Amino acid sequence: MIFPKWTNWLPLALGLGAALAGGAVAAGVTIYLTPKYTRAGYQPVQPVPFSHQIHAGQLGLDCRYCHNGVEKSWFANIPGASTCMNCHNQVLKDDPRLKIVRDSAETGKPIAWVQIHKVPDYVYFNHEVHVRRGMGCDACHGRIDQMDEVRHDKSFSMSFCLDCHRDPAANIRPVDKVTTLGWQWSTNAAEAAQLQQTEGKKLVDHMRVESLQSCSACHR
Amino acid sequence: MKNNLNHSASPVTGRRYWRSLDELADTPEFKDWLHREFPVGASEMVEDGSSRRHFLKIMSASFALAGVATLGAGCRRPEEHLEPFGKQPENYTFGEAQYFATAMPTRTGAIPLVVKSYEGRPVKIEGNALFPGSNGSTDRYAQASILDLYDPDRARHFKHDGKEVTRDEALGFLAELSRKFAANSGEGLSFLAESSTSPSRARLQKIIAGKFPKSQWFTYDAVDSGIHQRAATLAFGQPVKPVFHFEKARVILSLDCDFLGGEDDANNHIRKFAAGRKAGEGMSRLYAVESLFTLTGASADHRLRVAAGEMLQVAGLVGDVGGAIAGENTKFISDWIAECKKDLAANPGNVLVVAGQRQPIEVHLLAYKLNSALGAIGKTITLVPVAENSGADLKQLDSGATDTLVILGGNPAYNLNWSAKARTVVRLGYYEDETADKAGWNFPATHYLETWGDAQTSDGTSVPIQPLIQPLFGGLMELEFLARLAGEAQAEAHEIVRATFGGADEAWKKFLFNGYLADSANAAVTAQFIAEKTPAVDRAAIVPSASSLEVVFYRDAKVDDGRYANNGWMQELPDPITKMTWDNAVLVSRKTAKELGVANGDLVEISLNGRSVKGPIWTQPGMADYSLGLALGYGRERAGRVGTGVGFNAYKIFNGKYIESGATIKRTGETYTLACTQHHWSMEGRPAVREANLEEFIKEPLFAQESFHGKEPPIVESLYPNPLDEAKKTALHQWGMTVDLNACVGCGTCVIACQSENNIPIVGKDQVIRGREMHWMRIDRYFTTDPKRKHNDSIFDPKSDANQADENQQFAEWIDDVQAVNQPMMCHHCETAPCESVCPVNATVHDQEGLNVMAYNRCIGTRYCSNNCPYKVRRFNYLDFNKRPLKDLNGASKFGVTYYPTTLTHSTGEGDKKEWDLLRWWKDSNSGMRTEDEWDLIKLSKNPDVTVRMRGVMEKCTYCTQRIEHAKISQKAKAGQTGNVRLMEAEGTVPKTACQQACPAGAIVFGDVSDPKSSVSGLKALPLNYSVLGDLLTRPRTTYLARVRNPNPAMPDYHAPFSTEEYESQSLTKKGNS
C-alpha cells in the first residue's frame, strides 16, 4: 500500500488536465497568434512624420500620384523623395520635419521607411491586376486617408484574401473609383449594401472576373 | 526568393533587441507608445527617475505584453525597410522587367539575344525573335552563360605579379606600353587572341597594325571552327565562308560533321534541319558517317560507323576520286557508300555534303567538290565573302621574337600548351586561371553581358553587344583595353562601337533596339570549285587496332573547350549522348573494351606521341572500333570552386590535330566512379518513343496509336467526377503542350533554359550518383537495336538481357550497332494526376486551367507524389542545395563516409574570419553556409518570379506558371473594365514556356488546348500525336508527336526503326495477330 486511494483518480485527472491545457494552448494560439492579432494594428514609427490624413484626406491627392507603380507592377512603390519635392520645394520649404526628405532628394540617399504591409515570401501578390480590375485601395489597406500614421488595418491572412476571392462581387467597384477611399455605391447605407450585391455581380460577370482560388494564383 | 528591398547604404539592424527593461524604456518607440497609451504615466515616467521603477512595477504585466506586441521584438516579424530612390528615374517601375537586345559572340559568329533584366540585373537570356530567320531560340551555351556573370570565382582585381594593384596603376601600365611600342614601331609586341567576328575589334586591330607595324597578331582557337572558312577559301580561290541551308536539302551527307551538336553555330543548323524534317513527302534524309556517337548520328536515317581517320577514304569513294576501305565489313561499307552516292546523284541541287570541324582539310575539299558536282553551291550552300585572314602563323608564337605578349581572353596555358617565354605577359582574362598564373599583369575582363561591343552572325549581319549591367567588379572591356594599348584618344568601348557603326543617331538607336542591323548580311557570291584543289586520296587508310588506337578529340557538349568548366549548370547537364555529369571519360566501343580488357570505370593511361594522361573508361554504344573519344575541356587546375579537378585533361596529349593515331592504353588497376543520370540504355520494348519509317507513316498515319496498341482506353464515367471537368466549363484557358520528336535532336538547351528560369540548384557529383539531380526537365536517351541481337527469349532466363544489371549492359553485344532516340520528359500535368490524390497535405493540386500546381509552403516532404508519378518527373530537395557552399558541393568525408554538414557542424570563412554557422544564422537567418561573396552573387542570379525552394519540398515543372500568370495579369490589366481577358495565340498574348522559347528546333509547343485555332490544338489533332503511358489513364496534357524516320529502301541497312522492331518482338499481340 504505497499509494493512498485518492491516487486512483490521478491518471484520469492528469489526462483530463493535459487535454484541457493542451486545448487551451491550441485555442490560444489559434486565436491570438493569427495575423488578425499579430499583424492588424501594427503601426511602426516612420523616419519622416508623413501624414496620409493631410495629403490623401485633406488635400485629396490620388493614391497613384505617389504610388505610381501600382498600376504597372506587382509592387506598390513608395515614392522617391523627388516626388515629395514636387510640392515641397515650395510648400513648407524650410520646415525641419522635411529635412530628411530634402536631403534625400538632393543627395540620393534613400529614406528608410519601415515596411508595414508585407506578405510572406511564398505569396506572390500583384497590385496591378487588383487595382486595374476594380479593387479599391481601402478594401485591403483600410481608410488610409484618415490615418495620421499608417497602420496595418486588415489581417492579411490567407483567409482574408480568400474571403474576397470567394465573393468578388461583395468587394468590387468600378475601376475608376478604385482610389476613392470609402467609396460606396450610394450614400444610403442600406441601398449601398444592396447595390454592392447587384451591381457587383454585374461587374463581375461583365468583366469576367476570374477571382482565382487555386493555389497557382498566388503561390508559385 | 522575392526581391530583397534592403538596398540601404547604412546597415539595417533587423531585429531590435534590448537587454534590460531600462534599455527598453529608453527607446523612442517605447516613449511613444507610453505617450499614446498613458499620457499621464508618460510624463511621470520621463521626469522622475525613482518613480520610473515604481511605475514599471505596476505596469510590469502589461509592460511585458507591450514588449511583445508593440516594439517589433518578440513574436512580431522583424522590422524591414523600404528604401525608394532619392531621385526617381524616369520610365522605371520597380517590379517590371526590362528587355535589352544584345548578342553572345561565338567563334565564327554570334547569337542574337534579348535579355530580361530585373532591377538592373540580367536574369534570363532569350533569343532575339526579331532577328530575321530566327525563331527566338538560343543554344545551351548562351543559356548557361548568365551563370558565369554571377560566378564568385571570376577575376575581380587588377594584379601585377600576383599582388593587387589599383585600376589606375594598371591603366597607367597600359599607357606606358603604348608609348614604348609607339616609339619602336611595335617590335617585340605580340597579341594572342581567340577568333572573333567583331568589326570594332577588327578596326582596332588595323589601327594597332598601323601604329605598331612590327607587332604580330596571333589567333588561336582550342576548338578550331575556322576550318570551314579556310577550306572554302582554298576550294573557291577567294576569301569566303560557307553558310549551310539544311532546310533546302533533301539529302544530307555528314562526314563526321556533328552539325547538330559540336559544330559552331549549331543552333542555326538545328533550326534549319528541323524545318526539313516535317513528317511527310518532301522530308529530308540524313546520312551520317562518324566514329563517335553524336547527336547528328542520333538523328540520322542511316549511320555508318567508321574510324574518323578513314573519313578521307569514304569521301573519296563517295566522290569517285579513289580511296579504299580497309578493315572489317568492307562489303557492307562499300554497298552503303554506293547506295548513298546514288541517292545523292538522284537529287541534284538539293543535296548537302558537310565535313566536320575535326576532319583534315582534304576531307573538306572533297566535300566541296561533291557539293559542286551535285549543284549544291548557291542552293544549299551559299558562300559569303569574309575579310582576308591576316593573322600571323601560330608556330611563331614561341619563337623568341616576342618581348611583350598580350593575351586577350582564351586560356593558352591550359588549352594551347603555351608557356610564357616572353619577358612580359599581359593578360585580359575573365578568370584567374592557369594562364593568369603565368602572366605578369592580369586585367579582369568583363562578361559579354557587361560589355559594349559588336559582332557579326554567321551570315554577316551586324549585331550589337549591349551591356545590361555595369561591370560588377570593375572589369575592363576588351575594346577599351585594345584602344588604350593603341594609345587611342577615344578609349571608351561604347564610343568605339558607335564610331565603327557610323550612321545617324536614329539608326544607332534602332540598331540597339532591334539587336541587329537590317540588310547588313553579306550578299552571297557565286564561285566555282577549283578542280585542281581536289586532294589525292591515295594514302593508305590508317586502320586502327587494339595496339594502335585512334584518338578523336572533340569539343565537349557542356564545357566547350574548357571555358565553362566552372559553370555549375554545364557541369551538371547530362551529356546529350552519354548522360554523364561532372566528368569526361575515355569513350570506347564494346569490342575495343573487350580486347583491351577494360570495363566502365577502369582508370587507364593513354599514351600518344610520347605523352600520357589517365582517364576512366566508358563504353559507348554505336561507336567505331579501336577509336577513343576524348572530350576536351576537363581536368582544369585553376578553374574555380566548381570546375577545378573535374575530369581529366585531354589537352595533355593534344597537339592541335583532332584525330590522331597510334595511341596505346595501359590499365592502371584503379577504378573511378562516374556520375551518370541515365543508367539504363534500352527501352526494353516499351512504347515510350514511337517511330515508323516514312513509307509506313504514309500508309498508316495512325501508326502511333494503332500499331502500338496504345489507343487509350475509353474514358469511362467515373464514380467520382473529376473536378477539372467542371472547371473546364468556366475557365478561360486549358494549357497543354506537345513535343515533336521529329524536331528534337536532344541538344539540351531546354534543360538549361528551365534551370535558368526556375532557380533550379546544382547538387554536385555525389548527389547525382544518388540520383538526386534537380533538373525539372530531362532528356531521356534510349539506344535501340535489332531485337535479334538481344537475348530476350524469356523473362525467366537469368541470362536474358532484360534481367541484366545496368553494369552489364556494356558487355552486351547488341550495343555495337544501335539507333538512338531522344525524349524530353517533364511534368505532364495529367488531368487525373496520380500525384495529386496521394499527397497527405494537399500540397499538389490541380488548378482550373489544367496545371498541376505545387504549393511549396504546404509540402512536408513525404515524397508519396514522386512515388506515384509514372513519369518520375518530380524532384525532391533532399538537402538545402542553395545554402551549400560551392567548394563543399560534394560533401565532406569522414571515415570513408560522405556526409553533408549542416549549420550545426559547419563553419564558414577563412582564417580568423571563420565562424560557426549556427552563430551566423542566429545573427542573420539568411546567411546559410556560404561566404558572403558567393551568397550575394548567387542571389543575384535567381529569378525573382519563382520561389527558391528549401530542403524538404518537392518540385517539378510548372508549365512556367509565372509566365502564364504574368501574361494573364497583363491581359487583365489591359482589359480594365472590359471582359477581354482571354489570352489568344492569334493576338500574340499566349506566353511561351522557357523550354519552348529556348528550343532551336521549335520542338516544344505550348498553348491553349481549348482554343481550336491554337498551334498546340492543331498538333494534338495530328495522327502522330500520342501520349506516353497513356494506357495508365493519367490523361496527360503533354503529348508527343511520334518520330518518323526516312531511310532509303535501297540501302543495305534498311529496316524498320529498331524501337518499333523491339516493341513488336516483345509485344504479346504482335502485328498481324489480333
The predicted-structure confidence for B766-815, as pLDDT tens digits, reads as follows 999 999 999 999 999 999 999 888 887 677 888 888 788 899 999 999 99
Chain B residues touching A38 at Cβ < 8 A? 75-76
Amino acid identity at B882: N
Under DSSP, the state recorded for B540 is: P
Mean pLDDT of B181-188: 92
Which has the closest alpha carbon to A51: A151, A141, A140? A151
User: Quick one: average pLDDT of B721-740?
Assistant: 92
Q: What distance in Å separates the CA atoms of residue B245 and residue B384, rounded to the nearest whole number?
A: 13
Chain A residues whose beta carbon lies within 8 Å of the beta carbon of residue B994: none
Find, in chain A, the residue whose alpha carbon is nearest to that of B963. Answer: A220
Q: Cα separation of B255 and B300, whole Å?
A: 12
Is residue B729 less than 8 Å (CB to CB) from chain A? no
* A10–chain B nearest CA distance, Å: 33
Q: Which of B95, B846, B848 sits opposite A73 (nearest CB)?
A: B95
CA–CA gap between residue B313 and residue B317 (Å, rounded): 6
Find cell 538549361 and name the residue: B752
| Average pLDDT value for residue range B498-524 | 93
Q: Which residues of B touch A44 (CB under 8 A)?
A: 29, 72, 79
Instruction: Please report which confidence band the pLDDT of residue B37 belongs to, taking 50, 70 and 90 as the band edges.
Output: low
Diameter over CA atoms, chain B:
112
Question: Looking at the predicted structure, is the pLDDT value of residue B746 above 50?
Answer: yes
* pLDDT tens string B453-483: 999 999 889 999 999 999 999 999 999 999 9
Q: B632 exposed, middle or buried (CB, 10 Å; 0-12, 13-18, 19+)? A: buried
Provide the residue type at B694 as one letter: L
Record: contact B969-A129, CB cut-off 8 A: yes
Average of pLDDT values for A109-120?
94
Place of cell 587494339: B546
Q: Give the tens place of pLDDT for each residue, B652-668.
A: 999 999 999 999 999 99
pLDDT, tens digit (0-9, with 9 covering 90-100), for B799-809: 888 788 899 99
Average pLDDT, stretch B103-125?
Answer: 95
pLDDT range class, residue B72, cuts 50, 70, 90:
very low
Q: Contact at 8 Å (CB) between B447 and B422? A: no
Cell numbers given for A131: 487595382
What is d(CA B503, CA A161) in angstroms, rounded to the nearest whole number? Answer: 55
For B786, phi then psi, to 5°, come to: -65, 120
Contact A108 B847 (CB under 8 A): no
In which band, very low, low, confident or very high, does the pLDDT at A200 lie, cut at 50, 70 and 90? very high
pLDDT at B35: 58
Residue B242 three-state SS = strand
Q: Is there a contact between B76 and A118 if contact means CB atoms under 8 Å apart?
A: no
Q: Which amino acid is at B95?
A: G
Interface confidence, given as ipTM, is: 0.92
**Cα separations (Å) of B343 from B273, B286, B336, B338, B660?**
18, 11, 11, 9, 32
User: Model confidence at B67, in pLDDT bands (50, 70, 90)?
Assistant: very low
Beta strands in B682-756 (DSSP E): 691-693, 735-740
CA–CA separation, B1046 and B1024 (whole Å): 15
User: CB of B200 within 8 A of CB of B417?
Assistant: no
Taking contacts as CB-CB distances below 8 angstroms, the residues of chain B near A74 are 95
Predicted local confidence at residue B542, as pLDDT: 74
Distance CA B973, CA B935 (A): 36
pLDDT above 90 (res B883): no
A-chain residues within 8 Å CB-CB of B82?
78, 112-115
Please tell me which of the candidates B88, B846, B855 has its beta carbon nearest to residue A80: B88
Residues B669-694: what's their mean pLDDT?
93
Residue B596 near residue B586 (C-beta atoms within 8 A): no
- Which B-chain residues 822-861 have CB contacts (< 8 A) with chain A? 845-849, 851, 853, 855-858
Instruction: Give residue for cell 524534317.
Output: B277
The continuous run of DSSP H or E covering B122 comes out as: strand B121-127
pLDDT confidence bin for B711, thresholds 50/70/90: low
DSSP 8-state assignment for residue B332: H
pLDDT at A161 over 50: yes
The alpha carbon of residue A110 is apart from the nearest alpha carbon of chain B, in Å, by: 5
- pLDDT of residue B50 exceeding 60, the answer is no
Instruction: Please identify among residues 740-769 of chain B the ones whose CB lies closer than 8 Å to any CB of chain A.
Output: none
CA-based nearest residue in chain A for residue B980: A207
Instruction: Give dist(CA B76, CA A42) in Å, integer.
Output: 9
Quote the pTM value: 0.91
- The rounded distance, in Å, linking the Cα atoms of B261 and B300 is 13
Asked if A69's CB is within 8 angstroms of B93's CB, the reply is yes
pLDDT tens digits, B899-957: 888 888 888 888 888 889 888 888 887 777 888 888 889 899 999 999 999 999 999 99
- Are A175 and B856 a contacting pair at CB < 8 A? no
Q: Do A121 and B2 touch (CB under 8 A)?
A: yes
